[in-house]
Structures are given as structure tokens and as C-alpha cells.
């Protein structure tokens, strides 16, 4: 590993290139640059569980909530979402009402952005917190991860569609509107799962803020040396995630990293820090990461309190 000063210089040069991880991959690297290498077997590393490496192939059954049963069996759906939010903090939702066309076009659109020529993407590269649409590599560059991200602040101030890259402009607006409706339904169900009126969480403003972040994990020559997204919880009320079929999402269960299997057509929901807090710890957040060996893609819509809370 490079010493601290050399590492800072390399990080600065990388960031100023505005090319992202995809840019250095396109340059034909055969080894992971030292600034992206993570030491997983160091017991003092806060991203490393006390047992098992992040690539352990353990699997677990992720709860599935069928929103198609809301009209016919509302009590069952509320019970299902209560159990999932209390036991694991992660669950799939199926029959959510979003056409597969929208999901596939959203994946295609943001992949199209991340695979644009570097000189086009460079126009969007920024770390300015006030910018509503921006492209960057790693929110915290001091812990550089193997991923590129496109961030879009959709609400409460409406986003001007012209600020979005043309390649994913229309579908991002449509996807945002569709997932917002799913989010409202989830907040209504989660309110009732807490024994409250259906509009309680909406009334608290839980659905007021809305961010979309897409993470692109370019092909990695040495995937065992780095990670797509470090261990974290989300500073949100909830996050709704759309993954491509390659997966890569893992959650920490009994101190082991567990693969979250891809479920075609489903959205994956996780409880964030804020919902755990306001539910008095009845609903739980869960640590997760992504090992994206690529070229994998994930798209998350977060409902945070404000941009600073978004992971």
C-alpha cells in the first residue's frame, strides 16, 4: 500500500481526472491500483466482520412481501412487513405495480450513462453537495471503493429534467414517479405495522425527500483485493433498491456476510437509520455492502431526512 502522502496525491490525481473507475478500466489496467486495495483480514478494520471475509458464499432466505395482496389480505401484508422490518431490516417486494419495462429501461438508461465516453461524463463529475445531478467515484474518497455513481436529487424541490443526462433523462423521471408511489404504500404499511394510523409516517414527512443514486461496478482485474461498497447502514427512512441480475448485495447476519439473491422483477427494501430511531428500535437497520465484480449495476431510491443523511 502507498504511504499516506503518496496515497493522497494518487487520490487527488484520480479525482481530478474525472474519469471514474470506468476510466481506469478502459485504460487497460491489469492490477487494482493501490488506492483501491482494502485489507479485509485486518481485525481492526471497521469494515471487516470478526468472522468471515466479505466474499463468504453464505445465503439466507430474504423475506418477500407481496403488495398484490394489499387489497385482498391487508392484515397478512402488514404482518409480513412487520416481521421483515423487525427481524432482518431487508425484504423483497413483488407485485409492486411497476411494469418490467420501466425497470429494464431504467437499468439500461443508467448503464448507458456510465458507459458514455469519459469526456461526456466529465461534465457531470462533481463533489458539490448543492449540485442536484452529479457523477463521482465514492462518496468518501478517503475510503475509495470500486464503483462509479450517478446521483440525482429528485425532491422536495422538483428536478428540472434538463439537468439529467439525455441517455437516461425520460426514464429517470418515470422511474422516480413510479417508485415514489411504491414508497408511499410502504410507509402506509409500515405505519400500520407499528400500530399507528396508515398516514402517520407520511405525515412526519418521511416521503418528502427523494434521492436516486445508481452505482456502476466496472470489471475488476483483482476483485478479491477491493470492494464495491463498504460496510454501512443507510442514513434514510427506507431505501428501495433495483439490482441487475448479477447481484452483489450482501447483508451482515450473525457476523457473516450473506448474499442477497436476485429475484426477477422484485425491488429490495431496507430499513434506514432514521426509521429505526423513530420506531424506537422496533424496526431494525442492517449493515450491508456490495462486492460488485462487474459490470454490475444497482439503483437505489432513498427517502432520507436530507441530502447529508444519504449514504
Please name which of 57, 59, 76, 60 lies closest in space to residue 68, comparing C-alpha atoms.
Answer: 76
Q: Tell me if 138 sits within 8 A of 145, measured CB to CB.
A: yes
Going by pLDDT thresholds of 50, 70 and 90, the confidence category of residue 223 is confident
Mean pLDDT computed over 171-181:
97
pLDDT of res. 310: 39
User: For residue 74, how far is the Cα from the chain centroid?
Assistant: 28
pLDDT of res. 307: 41
Distance CA 264, CA 4 (A): 44
Neighbours of 77 (CB within 10 A): 22
pLDDT of res. 47: 59
pLDDT of res. 311: 37
Of 195-204, 234-243, 258-267, 287-296, least confident by mean pLDDT is 287-296
Q: Tell me if 291 sits within 8 A of 194, measured CB to CB.
A: no
Burial class (CB in 10 A: 0-12, 13-18, 19+), 30: exposed
Please name which of 132, 121, 196, 198 lies closest in space to residue 165, comparing C-alpha atoms.
Answer: 121
Higher-confidence residue of 142 and 287: namely: 287
- Taking CA atoms, 286 is separated from 1, 26, 77, 238, 261, in Å, by 30, 35, 21, 11, 16
pLDDT of res. 245: 83
Burial letters for 34-63: b for 16+ Cβ neighbours within 10 Å, e otherwise? ebbbbebeeeeeebbbeebebeeeeeeebb
Share of residues in the chain with pLDDT > 90 (%): 67
Mean pLDDT computed over 141-167:
93
Q: Determine if the pTM surpasses 0.95.
A: no
Handedness of CA 113, 118, 121, 126 (dihedral sign): positive
pLDDT of res. 85: 97
Mean pLDDT computed over 129-151:
89
Sheet holding 133-136, edge to edge: 64-66, 90-94, 267-271, 236-243, 296-304, 210-217, 148-155, 133-136
pLDDT of res. 252: 87
pLDDT digits (tens, 9 = 90+) for 252-284: 888 888 888 889 999 999 999 999 999 999 999
Of 49-63, 118-132, 181-195, 198-212, least confident by mean pLDDT is 49-63
Higher-confidence residue of 177 and 294: namely: 177
Of 13-22, 159-168, 250-259, 269-278, least confident by mean pLDDT is 250-259
pLDDT digits (tens, 9 = 90+) for 93-127: 999 999 999 999 999 999 999 999 999 999 999 99
Report the C-alpha dihedral over residues 161, 165, 166, 170, rounded to 10 degrees. Answer: -40
pLDDT of res. 309: 39
pLDDT of res. 224: 85
**What does pLDDT average to over the chain?**
88
pLDDT digits (tens, 9 = 90+) for 32-88: 999 898 866 544 455 555 555 555 555 668 999 999 999 999 999 999 999 999 999
Amino acid at each position: 500500500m502507498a504511504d499516506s502522502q503518496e496515497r493522497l496525491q494518487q487520490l487527488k490525481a484520480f479525482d481530478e481526472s474525472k474519469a471514474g473507475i470506468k476510466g481506469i478500466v478502459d485504460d487497460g489496467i491489469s492490477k487494482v491500483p493501490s488506492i483501491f486495495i482494502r485489507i479485509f483480514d485486518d481485525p481492526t478494520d471497521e469494515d471487516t466482520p470478526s468472522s468471515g471475509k466479505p466474499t463468504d458464499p453464505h445465503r439466507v432466505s430474504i423475506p418477500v412481501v407481496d403488495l398484490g395482496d394489499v387489497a385482498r389480505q391487508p392484515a397478512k401484508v402488514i404482518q409480513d412487513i412487520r416481521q421483515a422490518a423487525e427481524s432482518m431490516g431487508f425484504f423483497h417486494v413483488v407485485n409492486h405495480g411497476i411494469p418490467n419495462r420501466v425497470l429494464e429501461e431504467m437499468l439500461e438508461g443508467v448503464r448507458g450513462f456510465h458507459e458514455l465516453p469519459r469526456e461526456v461524463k466529465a461534465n457531470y463529475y462533481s463533489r458539490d453537495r448543492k449540485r442536484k445531478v452529479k457523477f463521482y467515484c465514492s462518496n468518501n474518497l478517503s475510503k475509495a471503493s470500486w464503483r462509479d455513481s450517478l446521483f440525482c436529487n429528485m425532491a422536495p424541490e422538483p428536478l428540472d429534467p434538463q439537468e439529467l443526462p439525455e441517455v437516461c433523462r425520460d426514464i429517470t423521471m418515470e422511474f422516480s414517479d413510479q417508485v415514489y408511489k411504491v414508497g408511499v404504500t410502504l410507509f402506509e404499511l409500515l405505519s400500520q405495522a407499528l400500530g399507528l394510523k396508515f398516514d402517520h409516517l407520511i405525515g412526519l414527512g418521511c416521503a418528502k425527500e427523494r434521492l436516486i443514486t445508481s452505482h456502476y461496478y466496472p470489471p475488476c482485474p483483482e476483485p478479491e483485493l477491493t470492494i464495491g461498497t463498504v460496510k454501512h447502514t443507510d442514513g434514510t427512512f427506507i431505501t428501495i433498491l433495483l439490482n441487475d441480475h448479477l447481484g452483489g448485495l450482501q447483508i451482515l447476519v450473525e457476523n457473516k456476510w450473506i448474499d442477497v439473491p436476485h429475484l426477477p422483477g422484485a425491488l429490495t427494501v431496507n430499513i434506514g437509520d432514521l426509521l429505526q430511531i423513530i420506531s424506537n428500535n422496533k424496526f431494525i437497520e442492517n449493515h450491508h455492502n456490495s462486492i460488485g465484480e462487474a459490470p454490475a449495476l444497482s439503483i437505489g431510491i432513498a427517502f432520507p431526512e436530507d441530502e447529508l443523511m444519504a449514504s
